[in-house]
Amino acid sequence: MNTLLVGLDAACRPVLDRLSGTAELPAIDRLLTEGATGRLRSQIPPWTASAWPSLYTGTNPGKHGVFGFLEFAGYDWNVVDATHVRQPALWELLSGEGLSSVVVNVPVTHPPREFDGALIPGYVAPEDPACHPEGLLDEVREAIGEYRVYPRHTGGRETSEAEKVTEYRATARMRGDAFRYLAERFDPEFGFVQFQSTDTVFHECPDSLDAAGAVYEAVDEQVGAILDACEPGTVVLASDHGIGEYGGYEFRANAFLRDAGFVRTKRGGAGGMPSWDTIRDDRFLDGNGSDGRTGEDRGDGGDGRTGAARPRTVRSGAFDSERALRRAMALAARAGATSQRLESVLERLGLAEFVVKHVPKGMIRAGTERVDFPASRAFMRSRIECGVRLNVAGREPNGVVSPESYDAVREELIELLSTVETPDGTPVFEDVAPREAYFHGPEAERAVDIVAVPADFDQFLSTQLRESVFGPPTEPWNHKREGVVAVAGTGSDAEASLAGAHLFDVAPTVLATFGLGRGTHMDGDVLAPVEPAGEREYPAVADRERTTTDDRAVEARLSELGYLE
């Protein structure tokens, strides 16, 4: 193998330094000490679904077209997949040069295009995804035993930390076993294997150094086995972003915009936001850790998602009781008694836990104050996007901001958000800017209108409507912008500096290890440890019709990890 790219989701120096005294990571440590190593600055937004396509295409989201886990069309949404990626991936560029690749578990690669080699998709793919070549997954399972895209557990509160860690370690082993099998089977020039559990463990087992160490040790074991089996000439280790503790506040953007007169709300019934949990702390999650949506909740368009309602089986008496309670709650909401207000009252009376155990989730949802998209001037659709969208006439189905006033409204919002401070008097955002300051390319118009970058990624963004604009972070650990990168092996200079390394630089660097020029369409440069090979134009990939992801299991996993609210 000429070049191996190892992806560790959310890996960063602060995490690796904390694990150094408790976890044995000989393979990763060897790459970091024997090669050139440094911080890898991620993009905006620094989240899995957008960042990995940026890494494997070498382009910003304005070119490749994926800005988060969701794509928005009007007020509807859809979970992204590889058909939304509008730039060629590394393995596709290499295939055009007569070079083969094996790609395992890389996010946003389902469904795969044709290329020379093999691919098993990763995150946001269904559990039994289409692979390349067709029938590959059955072959892999027959050869190595079990292979799962996702851990078996649901991520709910009933799953113990030990059970979660066991599953994360098992899926890490599956990645390694599958990659080594395919490397032997296809004998590729390029290999790319990604491990997602190094991120997931911090979302689901926050503040547990033991859990993180156990997961990293399992990943390290697989990295070491791959290095031994494949003997790559050059190894690039890279993460899509970092992760760390959040010491600031949760900033509820839509509550702020509501108070400032930009967001209009509605109470009761279907429609508007939020689309997942109405009150997303642990107390108001269903006992099984799911988002509690019934088929009719999901299918009537109330969550902003198109699609027909799904049938459900339920005893008629229970259904009638829940329906009556939901109707009552909706009526109460129209009178101003929203779930958010009830929650604060119940907290003061010490009755919140009782209500959570005995009141149906549908009743809580029916009483929720929601963003009324068509009536609002601006709103935050997804916190993952790090920004605000305007409801523009002629662009959105029921836009209220005229094209003539677009610039003025946007400037007003930029100025307003730039001055927001936490209750402690510190800025919420380190930068608030028009989208063109961060995104450029043919897909840039799909981005948020205003980019809002949280200060040091220590302030937790939320789309939720609550009585107060600020609160404690929903998740104590979340993404940071600084990841890690290492370049090691005979095809690199271990003494070269990686200062200023950026996520966009990974793809052109991999191409350079093959003596191939940086693509003129790319936004990154070749990292210093590898000799550049000039630049050149590569053939564009043909755009595919964007497909509709209709997999509730994928959506539930995103919700469990806090990626969807």
Residue-wise pLDDT for 373-426, tens only, equals 999 999 999 999 999 999 999 999 999 999 999 999 999 999 999 999 999 999
Average pLDDT, the chain: 85
* Inside any domain, residue 269: no
User: Is 455 found in the same domain as 481?
Assistant: no
Per-residue model confidence (pLDDT) at position 474: 87
- Both 27 and 107 in one domain: the answer is yes
In a domain, 267, yes or no: no
What confidence score (pLDDT) does residue 352 get?
A: 55
Tell me if 196 is assigned to some domain: yes
Are 40 and 161 members of one domain?
Answer: yes
Residue 63 burial (CB count, 10 A): 22
The DSSP code for 35 is: S
Same domain, 459 and 520: no
Does residue 84 sit within a domain?
A: yes
* Residues 530 and 447 occupy one common structural domain: no
| Claim to verify: residue 172 and residue 310 sit in the same structural domain | no
Boundaries of domain holding 444: 374-471
The beta-strand segments (E) located in 112-225 are: 117-121, 190-195
Cβ atoms of residues 10 and 215 within 8 Å: no
| Residue 285's pLDDT band (cuts 50, 70, 90) | very low
In DSSP notation, 79-131 reads E--GGG--S--HHHHHHHTT--EEEEEESS--SPPP-SEEEEE-TTS-SS---
CATH code (residue 547): 3.40.720.10
Q: How many CA atoms lie within 13 A of 384 on its CB side?
A: 21
- The residue out of 370, 395, 422 marking a domain boundary is 370
Instruction: With beta carbons less than 8 A apart as the criterion, state whether 312 and 294 touch.
Output: yes
> Looking at residue 295, what is its pLDDT?
27
Q: Choose the weakest-confidence range: 27-31, 81-85, 328-332, 382-386.
A: 328-332
- The answer to the question of residue 262 being in a domain is no
Q: Find tokens 């935050």 and name the residue.
A: 380
- What pLDDT digit, counting tens, does each position of 84-102 carry? 999 999 999 999 999 999 9
**Contact (Cβ atoms closer than 8 angstroms) between residue 458 and residue 246:** yes
pLDDT at 546 (0 to 100): 87
Overall residue count recorded for the chain in this entry: 565
Predicted structure pTM score: 0.85
Does the pLDDT of residue 296 top 70, yes or no? no
Tokens read off for 379: 């709103």
379 and 356 part of one domain: no
108 pLDDT above the threshold of 90: yes
Overall domain count for the chain? 3
Do 155 and 101 fall within a single domain?
Answer: yes
Question: Are residues 308 and 397 both part of a single domain?
Answer: no
- Are 50 and 67 contacting, i.e. CB atoms less than 8 angstroms apart? yes
Would residue 532 count as lying in a domain? yes
Q: How far apart are CA 50 and CA 59, in angstroms?
A: 11
- Our CA angle for 414, 417, 420, nearest 5°, is 150
Do residues 186 and 65 share a domain? yes
Lowest mean pLDDT among 75-89, 146-160, 366-380, 497-511: 146-160
pLDDT tier at 292, thresholds 50, 70, 90 = very low
Could you tell me if residue 274 is inside a domain? no
Asked, for residue 241, whether it belongs to a domain, the answer is yes
Looking at the structure, tell me whether residues 202 and 304 fall in a common domain.
no
Same-domain pairing of 97 and 210? yes
- The residue out of 341, 370, 399 marking a domain boundary is 370
